[in-house]
Every structure is written in structure tokens, then in C-alpha cells.
Structure 1
Amino acid sequence: MSQSLYVHFHPEERPFVDRALEWVERAAERHAPVVTDFLDPRQQFILQSIAGREPDAVLRLDGGYPEAERKRAVIVPAYRDPEDVDCGIVVLAVEASGGKFLELDHGDYLGALLGLGIKRDVIGDLHVRDDGCHCLVTEEMAGFLHTHLNQVHRVPVRTDILPRESLRVVQPEMDVTVITVASLRLDGVASDVLRISRSKILDPIRAGRCRVNWKTEEDPSARLEEGDIVSFKGFGRFKILKVDGPTKSGRLRVSIGKFI
């Protein structure tokens, strides 16, 4: 089955396609429940596509709260209810020692966690506040993180492990701007949003450093649509919030939300 599936996905996604096939087959044929690490939205889509082909397995996704971006998957034989299997998500609460105000961002917390030598896969969404961060993590890794995370970007911190019900959700902030473009081509929009010349934006796109809705996009002429989320390694990410137009000059007015 894998060879026929490969044509639907980017070549770099093939290892994950193989893993997803193995998970689904394990649940369907060996009757063994599977709980994955955290998956990004693109991985969730791939797994759902594969699970949908297998009538003997069922799937649910859970990220710790309804609007989660990163989620763990529970895959069980079709005769079982996936809601009966705990997906093992807890909150690692991180606060500054002494309670002093923190000027730390998402990247600081994520960098500190990954600096402990763990995989990104064991970390879900991060909710950054002025006084710290609530990190959704796998229950299996929580104890290690609680023991070893003692500073974030040189700021001493203390941690605690809380049930997922204690999560304090923080909605992501965006810097909203309006640009006008001749078309919704990826290279043109990204050039204006990231303030990089159109010729220089081609290199990261063709090098596979750009993702549209978490899928690698190497075609500079790819057309974006309202609601698309675009990310560039090293440059951040933005969302196409609204498309209006054309203006009198024939250009499109596009509202952009750049994630802070």
C-alpha cells in the first residue's frame, strides 16, 4: 500500500507515511492500541488519510484543549472506543524563580526545552504569559523536564506538573498589516510580508524551507488563499486573514497576520 500512497505526499514525508501505516496496521491487525507523540497539523492530516482507508481501526486526536495545533493520536481496533484510552498529556508549568517579571517569548521556552536533548515530538502547544509558560507535554517526559529544566534564556525558573485541566490557554498574538499585491503568488506575498526582495525569497522556497499549511511548498508561483498559514524557517510565519479587491489599480488588498 505504501508505494501507492507515496504519490500523494511530498518525498520528505515518506518516512512519516511509513510510520503512520505501521501504527494503523498495529491497531487493526495486532489489536494493540497506539498512542503517538505530538503531531503537527500536516502529520495529523496524513495519519487521518491513512486511517480512513482502514475499516478495522479508528482514530482520535487530542492536544490537551479543543483549539490545540499540535495533537497526539490514539489509534485502536474498530471494536474499541478511542475515548477509553488516555492520551497522556499534562501541563508543565514554568515560572520565574522569585516570581519576577519575564521578558521571554515562545522561542525562548522551546529552545530551553529542546536544549535538554529531547525531541520536539514530546512537546505540544506552548502558552506564554507575562509570568511564565504552560507547556503541554507527554506524561512520559514530564518528570524528566520537571527535574532538569531550571533556566530559560539565563533566567532561573521553577517548574511544576499540573493536570491538563489546569491549562491556562493564551491565544497567539498577531501583528496585523495590510498589503497590496498583484497576485496571491507565494513569492510575491512572502516578499512583501517578510520584507525580502523577490529574488532572494526564491532561495528558501526552492530549498524546501517554506511550508504552506504545514506542507512543504517548493513552487514560488503557488497560489495562496484566504486562511492559509505560511512559515519560513528562520523568518517566522504569517496567516492570510482576508483578501479584498481588486483596487482601482487592479491590485489585491490582503490582510496579513504575522505571528509574534
Structure 2
Amino acid sequence: MSVYQHFRKDEHPFVEQALEWLNRVESRYEAKLTEFLDPRQQDILAQLNGDDEVVQLSFFGGVPDAERKRALIYPFYEEDLAERFQIVLYELIYPEKFVTLEHRDVLGTMTGAGIKREKFGDIVMAEGRIQVAAAAEVSAYLEANITQAARAKVTLRPIEFGEALQPEEAWEEADGFVSSLRLDVVLSEIYRLPRGKTAPYIKNGRVKVNWKIVDQPAYQLDSGDHLSVRGLGRSRVFSLGDLSKKGKQHIYYGKKS
């Protein structure tokens, strides 16, 4: 039985990469530090490693309850100390009394400066403050090149992990019944839209499933899938319940509020 059959086809390249990391650590006893991984990639890596007693696996994202984290894969006799993850936590200093910055402003600034998404983690916003975790290997470049976000002048100030903000976001949980687990059908339930109005979001590349753009309305979702719709926010299919007497699927889900 191939390990690949347990994962979607579009996940196979990452599965192959993760297996290579794990095998390398097991055979050479040399630790491997990954880039920032999204939660789905973290799940896949953890599943592949299982309860291995030789190869250990730890995740750290620099902020409490981080979504995006670096993984440290290491031999059992080593330790997963925070400094081994090579993460720098920054606070953005900007004139918050006169300017309002949004998540997309900071994200756009980072990627617009040529920083790959895998090189920085969560962007946390709370009480008018903004923090971002980044890979230490790009810290000098960030500090020299991130000087403006939207129309505001900004400065990146390194801070200690103990100063990290707690994200303000919370899940709004709900449940419902859907005729199928097609992407367009589930989005219609979660966002309370007529099914016909979900298709343009999907076909225009405004929908991501597990942090990847999906443009097929018939794409089949499953328990644990993370969703985001540009302009409508993020959501997640927590779990699947029993079928109703009419054959509809009971789903439990949440939206970020």
C-alpha cells in the first residue's frame, strides 16, 4: 500500500519532500529545519513521522497559537530549543494614531519586497499593534527593505518571544446540512450565499483550500480542510456528522470573527 494514497494528488509533491526530510534525518542523524509551513503541511509531516522513536518532530511559529510554523526534524538525543528554529519576531513601528494598517497591507508589503511566503510566519494584529515572525536568514534584508506599508512609514523592531501578541481572532462555530461536499455547496452553507454566487469566487481564483487556490467548484472537501474566500474571510470544516434521513451530509464548521 502506497503512502501517497492517503493524501490528495495535489499534496503528493509535498509528501515526497517531507519523506525525503524524514529519511535524511534518520539515515544521517542530521537535524533539518524547514521553512514556515502552513497547518496542512504540518499535519502531513506529523502523519508521515507518526510515533517514530528515532526521528523527533517539533513546530514553532514565534507567536502564541501560530498557524504558520517552522518544523525542526531532529535525532531523538537532541533538544528542540527555541533558538534552533531561527525565527526573529518583529513589531512594526508606525504612526498608529494617524494610520490604519490592515493584514493585507503588511502581507503585500512583505511579498512586494521579494520575500517568499515561506520565509515569514503569522502576521498578528491586536490593539493597534502589528507583529510578524520571520526566518532569521532574511532578517537583515527585511530590516533594510521594509520601510513602508500602504502609505505609512514603518520600521521593523526585533522583540523577544515573551512580548508576542495574542491573536484577537476567534472561531464562530456552527453546523448545517449540505447536499454534497463540493466546494461550491459548502461555501454556500458557510457564507450563506446562493450556490450560484459562490462559483464566481471560485472560478476567479478568490478561494483557497488549505492555502492553495482552487478554481474548480466540484472540488471535494473533507474534514479538517481550511478555506478562505477573498473578501469574505476564513473558515474551516471541523468535522463531518451522520447523513440525514434525506441523505444530506451534516457538517460542523467555523468562521473567523
Deviation at 1:45, TM superposition (A): 0.9
**DSSP-derived class of the 1:94 partner:** strand
Instruction: Tell me if the contact between 2:64 and 2:165 (Cα under 8 Å) persists in the aligned partners.
Output: no
Deviation at 1:200, TM superposition (A): 4.3
Aligned length: 254
Instruction: Tell me if the contact between 2:63 and 2:133 (Cα under 8 Å) persists in the aligned partners.
Output: no
Q: Which residue of 2 aligns with 1:148?
A: 145
Distance 1:208-1:131 versus aligned 2 partners, 3 A rule: closer
Once residues 73 and 174 of structure 2 are traced to their aligned partners in structure 1, the CA distance between those partners, rounded to angstroms, is 43
Q: Which residue of 2 aligns with 1:190?
A: 187
Distance 1:150-1:203 versus aligned 2 partners, 3 A rule: same
Q: Which residue of 1 aligns with 2:88?
A: 90
Once residues 72 and 221 of structure 2 are traced to their aligned partners in structure 1, the CA distance between those partners, rounded to angstroms, is 34
Q: List gaps (5 residues or longer) in structure 2.
A: 241-247
Distance 1:254-1:122 versus aligned 2 partners, 3 A rule: same
Deviation at 1:102, TM superposition (A): 3.0
**DSSP-derived class of the 1:45 partner:** helix
Deviation at 1:209, TM superposition (A): 6.8
Deviation at 1:84, TM superposition (A): 7.9
Q: Does 1:74 pair with 2:92?
A: no
Q: Which residue of 2 aligns with 1:34?
A: 32
| TM-score under structure 2 length normalisation | 0.77
Distance 1:101-1:177 versus aligned 2 partners, 3 A rule: farther
Instruction: Supply the AA of the counterpart residue of 1:157.
Output: V
Instruction: Tell me if the contact between 2:126 and 2:165 (Cα under 8 Å) persists in the aligned partners.
Output: no
Deviation at 1:181, TM superposition (A): 5.8
Report matched runs for 1:84-163 at 5 Å. 86-96=84-94, 98=95, 100-163=97-160
Instruction: Tell me if the contact between 1:208 and 1:216 (Cα under 8 Å) persists in the aligned partners.
Output: yes
- RMSD in angstroms over aligned alpha carbons? 4.1
**DSSP-derived class of the 1:137 partner:** strand
Deviation at 1:228, TM superposition (A): 6.3
Deviation at 1:155, TM superposition (A): 1.3
Q: Does 1:49 pair with 2:52?
A: no
Deviation at 1:105, TM superposition (A): 1.3
Instruction: Tell me if the contact between 2:64 and 2:166 (Cα under 8 Å) persists in the aligned partners.
Output: no
Once residues 78 and 258 of structure 1 are traced to their aligned partners in structure 2, the CA distance between those partners, rounded to angstroms, is 38
| TM-score under structure 1 length normalisation | 0.76
Q: Which residue of 1 aligns with 2:256?
A: 259
Deviation at 1:20, TM superposition (A): 0.8
Deviations 1:110-154 (A, max 9, x none): 111111111111111111135441101112212211111011112
Once residues 149 and 203 of structure 2 are traced to their aligned partners in structure 1, the CA distance between those partners, rounded to angstroms, is 34
Deviations 1:80-115 (A, max 9, x none): 33348611122111121x553431111111111111
Percent of matched pairs sharing the same residue: 33
Deviation at 1:57, TM superposition (A): 1.2
Instruction: Supply the AA of the counterpart residue of 2:144.
Output: T
**DSSP-derived class of the 1:103 partner:** coil
Distance 1:55-1:253 versus aligned 2 partners, 3 A rule: closer
Deviation at 1:199, TM superposition (A): 2.9
